[in-house]
Amino acid sequence: MDNTKTAGSNIPVKIKNFLSTHTSLVTFIAMLIFLGIITNGNALKLGSLQNLVVAEAVRAFGALGVGMIIITRGIDLSLGQVIGLSACVSASFAQTADYGSALYAGQEFAIWLPVIAGIAVGAAFGLFNGVLVAYGNLPPFIATLGSMSIATGLKLIYTRASTLGSLKNEYKIISQGFMGPIPYLLIYVVIAAIVIWVLMNHTKQGKSIYAIGGNAQAAKVSGINVKAQLMRVYLYAGILYGMAGVLMSARLGLANPLTGNNMELDAIAAVTVGGISHAGGVGTVGGMMIGLMTLGLINFGMTFLGVNSYYQLLVKGGIIILAVYMDMRKHARKE
Amino acid sequence: MSQQQDYILEMHNISKSFPGVKALDNVTLKVRPGTVHALMGENGAGKSTLMKCLFGMYKKDEGEILLKGEKVHFTSAKDALESGVSMIHQELSNVPDRFVMENLWLGREPMHRMGPLQLVDHKKMFNDTVELMKNLEMDIHPKSKMSEISISSQQGCEIAKAVSYNASVVVMDEPTSSLTEKEVEHLFKIINNLRDQGVAIIYISHKMSEIFEISDEISVMRDGQLVASKPASELDDDKLINLMVGRDMTHRFPPVDFNIGEETVLKVDQLTAANPRSFKDISFELKKGEILGIGGLVGAQRTELVEAIFGMRGVASGMIEVHGKHVNISSPREAIRHGIGLITEDRRGTGIFPLLSILDNTSIPSLDDYKKKSHLLNHKKIESDSVQVNKQLRTKTPTYKTPIQNLSGGNQQKVIVARWLMTSPDILIMDEPTRGIDVGAKYEIYLIMTELIKQGKSIIMVSSEMPELLGMASRVMVLCNGKKTGILSREEASQESIMRLAAQFS
């Protein structure tokens, strides 16, 4: 706002502003270039990038869901287990009928059934979380910690702690197919991101979600039905997790009790890196996606460079802490 | 010199300015030991500022403070407490789920050695507390939970804490505002006891009957100045009111042309809050085109009343009619649907969305009007309408995408007014519409109000500023302790008549 500045010194200011508002995008591009240089461009070949997209696609659905929840100042720890449960349920209806150890051996299901069932599982958990948080006034951390455990238990009970394999080819193609060089998964992610972007930016609901995260009291005074809106956010997130579960089982061609483990960590880390503030009310869908790709690129790059996966965990933890630290410095509210 | 020894606390020539206001102007206050010294004045007269200067929460610009004849300079409430000057706040700050004794000795727990460890000596803590309570003739068990004892007992604990620091001066800010009559009696017993032990008590209150019952001397503040310091025996209600309000009105208000219609837009009948400590049996009518002022002192439950009308607080009984139709308002959503808007008193807490843009802050309650057939929002129209309303109100902002937290208080308030104008309400409730904004912005808010009534809208304005009520309201309803004590017409309303009603019950 300082008018006394000369035109010349405005350019660095502009660059500085751009850097501070697009930190995550700049970081992502810088990392991409860095990785390209140290691998002589090998990491940026089409095949490698396809692998990256496929690996991150399922997580993207989780990130979109939990990203919306974090914007309301909430959190969802059940994400990974709900995705896992939904993957197991959908897989159980997609096993080939002549596979002896199939859960429903000898039974033939329509191809849409596993898809619907998986999404329904996610939606049910989303609704459950939403009711607990919005109407039960449970802190989101505790409510979703509980449902995380419930989902884990159900997953083990339902699968009888064994792997559900031998999925039908016409089911697997949902995730494994390509349209030219473009994996189907990328198309789904782009569609989902666009839908959520429209929801968040072009509907009353989206505006209400930002308002609730920004100041829930003021939102109520402004006539927003805070409880109903909060519940819907958790429900939408659950639907996204359900889709993630379906896509995951189709991509892997199986599901087992370990499916989905720790995915909540990755998704929360991704959106945090992407600038979704835990102080609430701040964040964009673009940011969520960039954060996801950044974290994906770090994993992918370290694997590509042959870094031991145990060390990758250390790096990931450090990045999460750093991202939240930066976020809190930027958005922490003054008491 | 001997004259000075009579006083335990002397504040000499204290001045304090904030940007745009002189909050304290050369104030001198002297307090004798073993007396209750009442400090009175309208909201905003400077009582709290003076006390904050005493406790070092504000840095005084000029003046000096003597305690027992020695110059002191406190940097915090804790610092003052250690020198024997204690403050008991209106809002108690204890740890509710811990024992009384733990609260009393918090941060300075008696310790004893056990082998290599320094542990808290609970036995000594208990015994010290028992003794302290006995001295003050208070019947509070050291192992009661703070949350389980009455508010007057909680205040008693605060007083006991002060005594345990050997306090020689105790400041009480509105100590009876949330007490029942019985509890007040209890508190006064404790205060009398304290006075007999030679402690000086500075007693800040609005309630005149209480003041005359408890105090030995009375000081009155007005507009940042100390206008009188007299023995209580030389004063009565009328003299006190005159001292508190005696000031001339300046041209701080635009001329208001009331064109009040016949139609009753809002009728409130026997409204009683769900909270028994809040308002009771409030009835009033609001006509088309009028500004109904609601006056009263701190604790009169004015905010609680308007928030209940707006559906933010529970109502036990009573009825509300909008345009002659009985309505049931249990949430702000419904209030808005019935054409009511509320600009809340707490702009930060319940008004702004700090990080969201001016556009979002303006449009949020009226988004339903901007849905296209596809349910998507018509951003262009939102922007043009929001900008238009804000321009009308002369909101100053670099861009309309700027987060509202970057604006000044006055401009934030204009955005909130714009927000409610977008919903085109028939009834606009403004709770302290000019709190915390500068004089120029105040005038603009008043202008907007006159514009609104010209358009046939009706306004309810809660205000703690007497001149604002007199300058802007067509009628003034006065509350005191949750009860309606009267409605004054514009002709009847004066600082004296309002103050009389505002301090009626004790």
CATH of the domain spanning B2-245, picked from 3.40.50.300, 3.40.50.1220, 3.40.1310.30, 3.40.190.10:
3.40.50.300
Contact B293, B430 (CB under 8 A): no
Checking if the pLDDT of A4 tops 50, the result is no
The 10s digit of each residue's pLDDT in A148-157 is: 999 999 999 9
pLDDT at B506 (0 to 100): 44
pLDDT at A332 (0 to 100): 58
- The values of phi and psi at residue B346, to 5°, are -95, 90
Per the prediction, chain A carries an average pLDDT of 89
pLDDT at B150 (0 to 100): 81
Cβ separation A223–B354 shorter than 8 A: no
Q: Which residues of B touch A221 (CB under 8 A)?
A: 310, 312, 332, 342, 344, 350-351
Task: Read off the DSSP letter of residue A75.
Answer: -
Smallest Cβ distance to A223: which of B333, B352, B363?
A: B333
- The amino acid that residue B474 corresponds to is S
Q: What is the ipTM of this complex?
A: 0.81
Query: For residue A61, which of A199, A239, A230 has the smallest C-alpha distance?
Result: A239
Please name the residues in contact with A171: beta carbons below 8 A apart, sequence gap of 6 or more.
A94, A111, A114, A250
Cβ separation B333–A214 shorter than 8 A: no
A266-283 average pLDDT score? 89
Cβ separation A220–B379 shorter than 8 A: no
Cβ separation A214–B367 shorter than 8 A: no
Checking if the pLDDT of A24 tops 80, the result is no
More confident residue, B449 or A32: B449
Q: Give the architecture-level CATH label for domain B249-339+426-437+457-506.
A: 3-Layer(aba) Sandwich (3.40)
Tokens 């035109």 locate to A7
Please name the residues in contact with B201: beta carbons below 8 A apart, sequence gap of 6 or more.
B35, B36, B37, B169, B170, B171, B172, B191, B194, B195
Smallest Cβ distance to B355: which of A198, A223, A282?
A: A282
Q: Domain map of chain B by residue range?
A: 2-245, 249-339+426-437+457-506, 347-424
Task: Read off the DSSP letter of residue B144.
Answer: S
Smallest Cβ distance to B377: which of A1, A203, A223?
A: A203
pLDDT at A214 (0 to 100): 92
Residue of A195, A197, A222, A327 best to disrupt the B interface, most CBs of B under 10 A:
A222
The 10s digit of each residue's pLDDT in A173-226 is: 999 999 988 999 999 999 999 999 999 999 999 999 999 999 999 999 999 999
Smallest CA–CA distance from A226 into chain B, residue: B333
Cβ separation B312–A221 shorter than 8 A: yes
pLDDT at B246 (0 to 100): 66
pLDDT per residue, tens digit, chain B (506 aa), is 334 458 999 999 999 887 666 789 999 999 999 999 999 887 667 888 899 899 888 888 999 999 998 999 998 888 888 889 998 877 777 888 889 999 888 888 889 888 888 899 999 999 999 998 888 888 889 999 988 888 778 888 888 888 888 889 999 988 877 677 777 888 898 899 889 989 999 999 877 778 899 999 999 998 888 999 999 999 888 788 788 776 544 557 888 888 888 899 999 999 999 988 889 999 999 999 999 999 988 778 999 999 999 999 999 999 999 999 999 999 999 999 999 999 998 888 899 999 899 999 999 999 999 998 888 999 999 999 999 999 988 888 888 998 998 888 888 999 999 999 999 899 999 999 987 776 677 888 898 999 999 999 999 999 988 888 999 999 999 998 899 999 999 999 998 899 889 887 54
Q: Which residues of A touch B350 (CB under 8 A)?
A: 215, 217-218, 220-221
Q: Which residues of A touch B368 (CB under 8 A)?
A: 204
Q: Rounded to whole angstroms, how far apart are CA atoms B354 and B404?
A: 6
Query: For residue A62, which of A306, A246, A335, A297 has the smallest C-alpha distance?
Result: A246
Smallest Cβ distance to B353: which of A204, A215, A331?
A: A215
Residue A190 pairs in a beta bridge with none
Cβ separation B354–A224 shorter than 8 A: no
Residue A6 pLDDT grade (very low, low, confident, very high; cuts 50, 70, 90) = very low
Smallest Cβ distance to A221: which of B332, B354, B376?
A: B332
Is there a shared CATH topology between the B2-245 domain and the B249-339+426-437+457-506 domain? yes
- The values of phi and psi at residue B504, to 5°, are -70, -50
Token digits of residue B280: 């009771």
Q: Rounded to whole angstroms, how far apart are CA atoms B487 and B293?
A: 9
pLDDT at B19 (0 to 100): 67
Specify the long-range contacts of residues B16-24, CB closer than 8 Å, at least 24 apart.
Answer: B16/B49, B16/B53, B16/B58, B16/B60, B16/B61, B17/B61, B20/B438, B20/B439, B21/B224, B22/B224, B23/B49, B23/B224, B24/B49, B24/B50, B24/B53, B24/B60, B24/B224
Smallest CA–CA distance from A197 into chain B, residue: B376
Q: Looking at CA atoms only, how far is residue A333 from chain B in angstroms? A: 9
Checking if the pLDDT of A107 tops 60, the result is yes
Q: Rounded to whole angstroms, how far apart are CA atoms A260 and A82?
A: 8
